[in-house]
Amino acid sequence: MYNSPVPLDIEARVTANTRLSRDYNVLALAAPEIAAAVAPGQFVMVKPGRGYDPLLRRPFSVFEILRTSGGAVTGLTLLSKRIGVTTTLLFEAVEGDVVSCLGPLGRPFTLVDPPAEAWIVAGGVGLAPFATLTEALGARRTPITMFYGARTGAELFYLDWFRERDVRLVLTTEDGSSGERGRVTGPLDRELQQARGRDVMIYACGPEPMLEAVAHLAARRGQPCQVSVERVMGCGMGGCYSCVIPVREPRGGQHYVRSCLAGPVFTGADIVWD
């Protein structure tokens, strides 16, 4: 039997829209019921406004859980990068707008406890699932290192947020304007070589070539790795079969599975990278 919990569909009011750069914004939504139920790595299907343009919802990782000073959950935020119709509407949204929000959906990250360490690898907007993961790991006192790469220093966000939560940051930028010049896999591989024998769990989210590189590095250095993939998704519920990704079959061969149901979090070694 499918025993997934009932997803909630909330017409969520926009309570804040913070522009982080020319293309990135953080949108706060009054969807406390979803925020209270979400596990790190899960996603919501979002549709700004009514009508048929855009027609389909789009998947977003839940970025932050918003709480009152007393700890009551009031909503959630989405980290969005403006690239298409939906993300443009989310970028331009103002307080009081309504965004339809369905979730929480998908398989979350598997958490680890000390003495294991968590190594987060984030590329660009792939930072999104790691605020909630950091809070969940922090509650278990699992030490966290985050390798965080972007094109340029102006697109590295929330650095203080992560530092305040005792996350050790290793930053890279493609233009060298902040941190080490190059890709995030550079320092990751160096540190993996030094971490032989230690118990490390890698969590990665970002462009698919980055995920592939991270999964290969993890396999080569003998460390486990969970990746959160982003595929073109139509429904988020397992209905449309558009978001498939090839995974290795136990008996050999490969097979397309729906990343909305079997993922978005996968064991890196299970995925057949193109």
Is 235 near another protein (CB under 8 A)? yes
49 DSSP assignment = S
Is 47 near another protein (CB under 8 A)? yes
Q: Do strands 24-30 and 168-173 pair parallel, antiparallel, or not at all (unpaired)?
A: unpaired
DSSP string, 157-214: --HHHHHHTTPEEEEEETTSSSSEES-THHHHHHHHHHTTTS-EEEEEES-HHHHHHH
Is 139 near another protein (CB under 8 A)? no
In the bound state with another protein, the residue whose beta carbon lies nearer, of 101 and 215, is: 101
Determine the interface stretch with another protein among 51-59, 63-71, 87-95, 112-120 (rule: CB under 8 A).
51-59
Which position among 13, 165, 231, 248 is part of the footprint of another protein (CB under 8 A)?
Answer: 231
Which position among 49, 114, 209, 239 is part of the footprint of another protein (CB under 8 A)?
Answer: 239
**What minimum distance in Å lies between the beta carbon of 8 and another protein?**
10
Hey, is 119 helix, strand or coil? Answer: strand
Count of H helices and E strands in the chain?
6, 16
Residue 230 burial (CB < 10 Å; 0-12/13-18/19+)?
buried
Is 9 near another protein (CB under 8 A)? yes
Q: Are 124 and 155 in contact (CB under 8 A)?
A: yes
Q: How far apart are CA 203 and CA 133, in angstroms?
A: 9
**What minimum distance in Å lies between the beta carbon of 122 and another protein?**
23
Amino acid at 18: T
- Interactions with another protein, residue window 91-110 (CB under 8 A): 102
Count of residues touching another protein (by CB under 8 A): 32
**What minimum distance in Å lies between the beta carbon of 114 and another protein?**
35
Which position among 240, 248, 267, 273 is part of the footprint of another protein (CB under 8 A)?
Answer: 240
Longest dimension (CA), the chain: 55
Is 234 near another protein (CB under 8 A)? yes
Which position among 37, 39, 56, 195 is part of the footprint of another protein (CB under 8 A)?
Answer: 56
Q: Residues with Cβ < 8 Å from 141, sequence gap 6 or more?
A: 114
Which position among 39, 98, 244, 269 is part of the footprint of another protein (CB under 8 A)?
Answer: 244
Residues binding another protein (CB under 8 A) = 1-2, 4-7, 9, 47, 52-57, 85, 102, 231-232, 234-235, 237-245, 255-256, 261
